[in-house]
Amino acid sequence: MNSKLEEQPIIEVQNVSKAFGGLQVINNCSIQVAKGSVTGMIGPNGAGKSTLFNIIAGTLPEDSGQVLMEGRDITHETPDQLFHQGLLRTFQIAHEFSHMTALENLMMVPPRQEGENLFSTWLKPSLVRQQEEEVRQRALEVIDFINLGHVKNELAGNLSGGQKKLLELGRTMMTDAKVVLLDEIAAGVNRTLLVDLVKNIERLNQEMGYTFLVIEHDMDMIARLCDPVIVLAQGEVMMEGSIEEVRNNPEVVEAYFGKVD
């Protein structure tokens, strides 16, 4: 992880609340994510982690409170608008284009490609070809970075669950990403590919300056990657600290496993 973190948080959640009917899922919750950090978010099932993620990512409206990115209010911006600002979210179940190759999946990501404009294909064919080749070269670099070069021409739908997660992580590299929200990226991934996932996240953080906010139930992965770790319970922040502090906190243990007599 980067040792020098900027003072202004890159993501700040201020007093956010969200209810579904009579169920209060997020209750006046405030968190900060430091620029350059890999921040973990854990908590028992039903703690509100995914709901808070959805609010930050713009896919779910809050009832009250606000979300800031680099000090600017992004509370009511759409996922598309946030994508163009460098805020991306991956999902527990990877969302690949199953009938396209792994390489083509990466090439689909960059926005505002000239080939998407009908007039450009007619009037600027050389520019379209040049840009497509640049995107292809970038995609080849990314697919090698994530160690999927051997399946670059395989249909994405045929990849294993772990390979799909790696591909989804690679798709973040085809943009000008600043913050990546990782939602249980280890789920359904075998241990060998999980090692690759962790290494790639570390490299993106250390070498390319990505900031990560990670929801994860795999405590070994959290311990390897994350500092600090935020613990949610019943829609509120229970504590924030190092993984050692979290593991040794009796309130956290009780929230996960129940009170032991």
pLDDT digits (tens, 9 = 90+) for 113-122: 545 555 555 5
How far apart (Å, rounded) are the C-alpha atoms in residues 60 and 20?
11
Average pLDDT over residues 33-50: 94
Phi, psi of 186 (to 5 degrees): -85, -10
DSSP structure string for 129-162:
HHHHHHHHHHHHHHHHHTT-GGGTTSBGGGS-HH
Q: Which residue has the tokens 């900060």?
A: 32
116 or 107, higher pLDDT: 107
- Least confidently predicted of 141-145, 151-155, 161-165: 161-165
Phi, psi of 94 (to 5 degrees): -60, 140
Percent of the chain surpassing pLDDT 70: 88
Q: Which helix (H) or strand (E) holds 213?
A: strand 211-215
Residue count (the chain) = 261
Strands 236-241 and 9-20: what pairing?
unpaired
Q: How many CB atoms lie within 10 A of CB 133?
A: 10
44 or 119, higher pLDDT: 44
Cα dihedral: 184, 190, 193, 198 (round 10)? 40
Q: Which domains does the chain have, with CATH numbers?
A: 9-95+171-257 (3.40.50.300), 97-158 (no CATH)
Q: Which helix (H) or strand (E) holds 214?
A: strand 211-215
- Tell me if residue 188 falls in helix, strand or coil: coil
The band of 1, judged by pLDDT with boundaries at 50, 70 and 90, is very low
